[in-house]
Amino acid sequence: MSFSKKVAFHTLGCKVNQYETESIKNQLLKKGYEEVSFEESSDIYIINSCTVTSIADRKTRNMLRRAKKINPAAKVIVTGCYAQTNSREILEIEDVDFVIDNKNKSNIVNFVGAIEDISFEREKNGNIFQEKEYQEYEFATLREMTRAYVKIQDGCNQFCSYCKIPFARGKSRSRKKENILNEIQKLIEDGFKEVILIGINLGAYGEDFESGETFETLLEDILKIDGLKRIRIGSVYPDKISDKFIELFKNKNLMPHLHISLQSCDDTVLKNMRRSYGSSLIRESLLKLKSEVKNIEFTADVIVGFPKEEEEMFINTYKIIEEIGFSGLHIFQYSDREGTIANNMEGKVPNNIKKERADRLSTLKHVMMKETREKYLGEILEVLVEEEKNGEYLGYTDNYLRVRFKSEKKELLNSLVKIKIIEIEDEILIGKEDNTNNE
């Protein structure tokens, strides 16, 4: 085949999906393919799908149809989580040519090279639970402005009652530590100052190894790497916040921000969700972290309107979130997912009540965001500069607050700069350079 073919990508969902798309893209470019925008005419369209919500499913279907409208002769390939769990449903969409599941995703480059063969089967869909070891992705690094993401784990053993992800990703599988350390070392050599660890369930890292390796021991070894300025953790469950975990945050290179997979702070709802902890653990763990780690900030995912969630249960969640304080929330109204336990639960909460609870929590979210940012007025914070826009620089503090400032200096991108916070504009901290001890 000619190597002048064009390929376009669209990724839905989490950073893990984006990481995997980047690997597929880099491998195809290395083979001579030309990347074009998804809105342009392309020979091949690859949609890396998400299935975490029904909205994600709908967005995937919309993108499939859009590709064929742009170029009816193109080959449209669907991969990712929705392709894993609903391959037959997707194959019934006439705009789809091939469905390749997560189990085969890392080998998608070879499939792309084979689709000129008229006998090539339309569906590659296997049992994801047969995957026993972490699948490495060639040329996998996801680089975003001045930050780079490193995938350390895939899959999940939790089987929460509302979640399809274990069926899409399979059992928890950990990446070999030496491969993680080597990738981070290479990123540092390439000039990256911040590395973010990502996975489906980061706290489960090492549980499938016999070596006794844990997420904490991996972090200890990462923090020993020379030249590392910032390591950031993508997301954790509250029950993974051990005393050792808290102690690691006292290392200045481990960023004082955590995104918590919270979902609820009510014991009954947590039990119905099949979470393995209660509200007291959430409260105690996060408050302990706040008391022991200077300026640590939390963001979180929360589901409102879970089946059988009564007003008092919602209030319990509301009060604990308010007490802990969060710098941001991602609020989801519960939606049924086929194949999950919650899908068949009684006591579904009416849509108007779900919306009303989401609105109340959103109001609290904005109060907390304002209070969080007001704490830093007059403070000097270190900012990793990641973009320049309209003569101003933007970046993030170590605890993941967005900062904007002006500077007469050039070439500040990817620099760590001390900024004095002087005002707040919406969710952004506005500052000015503090010229003492800037890198």
Predicted confidence (pLDDT) per residue in 38-77, tens digit:
999 999 999 999 998 888 899 999 998 899 999 999 999 9
Predicted confidence (pLDDT) per residue in 389-419, tens digit:
888 999 999 999 999 999 888 889 999 999 9
pLDDT in tens, the chain (439 residues): 444 689 999 999 988 999 889 888 988 888 889 999 999 999 999 999 999 888 889 999 999 889 999 999 999 999 999 989 998 888 888 888 889 888 888 788 888 777 655 444 555 555 555 666 766 766 556 666 678 899 999 999 989 999 998 888 999 999 999 999 999 999 999 899 999 999 999 999 999 998 989 999 999 999 999 999 999 998 999 999 999 999 999 999 999 999 999 999 999 999 999 999 999 999 999 999 999 999 999 999 999 999 999 999 999 999 999 999 999 999 999 999 989 999 999 999 999 999 999 999 999 999 999 999 999 999 999 999 999 988 899 999 999 999 999 988 888 999 999 999 999 998 999 999 987 655 5
SS3 for 233?
A: strand
Q: In whole angstroms, give the CA distance from residue 235 to residue 15.
A: 11
Strands of the sheet containing 297-304, edge to edge, are 257-263, 297-304, 328-333
Q: In whole angstroms, give the CA distance from residue 129 to residue 247.
A: 35
First to last CA, the chain: 50
What is the residue-averaged pLDDT of the chain?
A: 90
